[in-house]
Amino acid sequence: MTAEAIPFMDLAATHAPLAEELDEIWRSVLSRSAFIAGSEVEAFEEAFASYCERQHCVGVANGTDAIELILAALGIGGGDEVIVPANTFVASVEAIIAVGATPVFVDVEPGRLLVTADTVMAGISERTAAVLIVHLFGQPVDMDAVLDLADVTGIAVVEDAAQAHGARWRDRRAGSFGVAASFSFYPGKNIGALGDAGAVVTDDADLAARVRSIANHGRLPDEHHGHGLVGRNSRLDGLQAAVLRLKLGHLDGWNAARVELHGAYQRELASTPGVRTLSDESDAEPVHHLEVVRVADRGRVRQELTAAGVGTGIHYPLPCHFESPYRRYATEPLPVAEEAARTVLSLPMYPQLSEDAVRTVCDRLSRAVLAKSSAA
Ligand SMILES: *Cc1c(COP(=O)(O)O)cnc(C)c1O
Pocket probe for ligand 1: among 184, 236, 349, the residue whose CB has the most ligand atoms within 8 Å is: 184
Distance, CA of 22 to CA of 293 (rounded, Å): 35
Max CA pair span of the chain? 71
**Could you tell me which residues come within 8 angstroms of residue 354 by beta carbon, excluding any fewer than 6 positions away?**
none
Neighbouring-strand partners of residue 201: 57, 181
User: Which CATH number is correct for 251-375, 3.40.50.80, 2.60.98.20, 2.60.120.200, 3.90.1150.10?
Assistant: 3.90.1150.10
Task: Say yes or no to pLDDT of 166 above 90.
Answer: yes
Alpha carbons 320 and 107: distance in angstroms, whole number: 11
Q: Is the CB of 182 under 6 A from ligand 1?
A: no
Does the pLDDT value for residue 254 go beyond 90?
Answer: yes
| Per-residue pLDDT tens digits for 316-333 | 999 999 999 999 999 899
For the residues of 275-301, what is the DSSP string, one character each? -EEPPP-TTEE---SSEEEE-SSHHHH
How far, in Å, is the centroid of ligand 1 from the Cα of 157?
Answer: 18
Q: What kind and span of H or E run contains 360? A: helix 355-375
Strand partners, 294: 276, 344
The answer to whether the CB of 193 is under 6 A from ligand 1 is no
- Residue spans per domain, the chain: 11-106+113-246, 251-375
Sequential DSSP letters for 209-271: HHHHHHTBTTBPTT-SS-B-S---B-PPBHHHHHHHHHHHHHHHHHHHHHHHHHHHHHHHHTT
Please indicate, yes or no, whether the overall pTM of this predicted structure exceeds 0.95: yes
Given a contact cutoff of 8 angstroms between Cβ atoms, the answer to whether 128 and 100 are in contact is no
Q: What are phi and psi for residue 201, nearest 5 degrees?
A: -125, 145
The ligand 1 atom at the shortest distance from the C-alpha of residue 196 is 7
Percent of the chain with pLDDT strictly greater than 90: 93
Q: How confident is the model at residue 371 (pLDDT cuts 50, 70, 90)?
A: confident
Instruction: Provide the pLDDT for residue 210.
Output: 97
Q: 184 pLDDT exceeds 60?
A: yes
Helix axes 91-98, 63-73, angle to 10 degrees: 40
Q: Which of 89, 93, 237, 290 to mutate to test the pocket of ligand 1 (most atoms within 8 A of CB)?
A: 89
- For residue 63, how far is its CA from the centre of ligand 1 (angstroms)? 5
Distance in Å, CA 295 to ligand 1 centroid? 25
Confidence of residue 345 (pLDDT cuts 50, 70, 90): very high
Instruction: Tell me which residue has its CA closest to atom 7 in ligand 1.
Output: 63
| pLDDT grade for 1, boundaries at 50, 70 and 90 | very low
Give yes or no for residue 87 CB within 6 A of ligand 1.
no
Pocket of ligand 1 contains residue 139 by CB under 6 Å: no
Kindly give the pairing relationship between strand 128-134 and strand 156-160: parallel
- Tell me the per-residue pLDDT of 257-312, one tens digit each, with 9 for 90 and over: 999 999 999 999 998 999 999 999 999 999 999 999 999 999 999 999 999 999 99
Length of the chain: 376
Coil, helix or strand at residue 362: helix
CA distances to 87, 170, 183, 218, 270 from 69, in Å: 22, 28, 12, 12, 42
pLDDT at 71 over 80: yes
Task: State the pLDDT confidence band at 374, using cuts at 50, 70 and 90.
Answer: low
CB of 357 closer than 8 Å to CB of 8: no
Pick the CATH number of 11-106+113-246 from 3.40.50.2300, 3.90.180.10, 3.40.640.10, 2.40.50.100: 3.40.640.10
